[in-house]
Amino acid sequence: MQGLLIANKNQGSREQLASLFNASDYQVTTVDAVANALEGIINKDIQVVVIDGHYDEQNIVKLIPLLKKCNRNISIILVSDEMPIEMERRIRKEGIFYHALKTVGEDNGEEIRQVVSYAFKKYAENTAIKANKKHKAKAMFPVKSALSTIAMIMMFVSPAFAVDTTQTYNSGILVLLLIGFCALLIVAQLVPAVLVLVGMTKAAVQRTSPRAQKSSSK
């Protein structure tokens, strides 16, 4: 579920802004202060926050990093009057997603709708990227483990080979046994990694195929 939080001290303004998303599938929550919805932000039930109205600029600068600590991927949209350039630079540096100037009319409402839609899209993309990185890290772990195991075996077995170099025949058999054992270790540890990568590839193909069908139909 896509969770949208609208924060405005004025109840009428909150309801008016929330009405822009009546036709959407968003789970819209309205509050007079962002602090009243921190639980939803921490639990990631809320992915996009719209801060509307007149707030102290210094408090906004402090609020943004706090929200980012609750959910690093959260998108924060600020709707306000013009502010000093230095202040705007500071809020952008803290990680605000978008700053919309407060205007009167339908144009402002359409701008907010588009920005919110794009914010949800970017949130999903960032979340998917981080999930893929975790899967790849898990997939590479067996490979590193296998290499470490081989290195440990070679470290302990090599001195044994060096004890008597005249026993070529016996050493050759030991080498073959060692190679076979290492091969079994590698196969046993790489199979899960390969299965994970295959699953990720199939998921990527399934996501891209509907887009290709839509573009071809156009």
The helix-helix angle for 85-94 and 57-70 (nearest 10°) equals: 10
Distance CA 203, CA 190 (A): 20
pLDDT of residue 188: 64
3-102, what's its fold?
Answer: Rossmann fold (3.40.50)
Mean of pLDDT over the chain: 78
Transcribe 122-148 into DSSP letters. Answer: HHHHHHHHHHHHHHHHHHHHHHHHHHH
pLDDT of residue 211: 54
pLDDT of residue 2: 94
Query: What are the residue boundaries of the structural domains of the chain, listed by start?
Result: 3-102, 131-217
Tell me the pTM: 0.61
pLDDT per residue over 150-162, tens digit each?
A: 556 555 555 555 5
pLDDT of residue 142: 59
pLDDT of residue 130: 72
CA 17 centroid distance within chain? 28
Mean pLDDT, range 130-146, rounded to an integer:
60
Do 9 and 54 meet the contact criterion of CB atoms below 8 Å apart? yes
pLDDT per residue over 166-185, tens digit each?
A: 455 555 566 666 666 666 66
For residues 190 and 117, the model is more confident at: 117
pLDDT per residue over 21-42, tens digit each?
A: 998 999 999 999 998 999 999 9
| CB atoms near residue 180 (< 10 Å) | 10
The pLDDT-based confidence of 98 (bands split at 50, 70, 90) is: very high
Residues 6+ apart with CB under 8 A from 27: 1, 2, 3, 4, 45
Position 59 pLDDT exceeds 90: no
Percent of the chain predicted with pLDDT > 90: 39
The pLDDT-based confidence of 108 (bands split at 50, 70, 90) is: confident
Do 94 and 68 meet the contact criterion of CB atoms below 8 Å apart? yes
pLDDT of residue 35: 87
CA atoms within 13 A on the CB side of 210: 4
**Phi and psi torsions of 189, nearest 5°:** -90, -25
Distance CA 19, CA 106 (A): 12
Task: Write the CA distances from 45 to 4, 27, 30, 88, 181, integer angstroms.
Answer: 9, 9, 14, 28, 49
Exposed / middle / buried, residue 206 (Cβ in 10 Å: 0-12, 13-18, 19+): exposed
pLDDT of residue 28: 96
pLDDT of residue 178: 66
For residues 39 and 193, the model is more confident at: 39
pLDDT of residue 105: 59
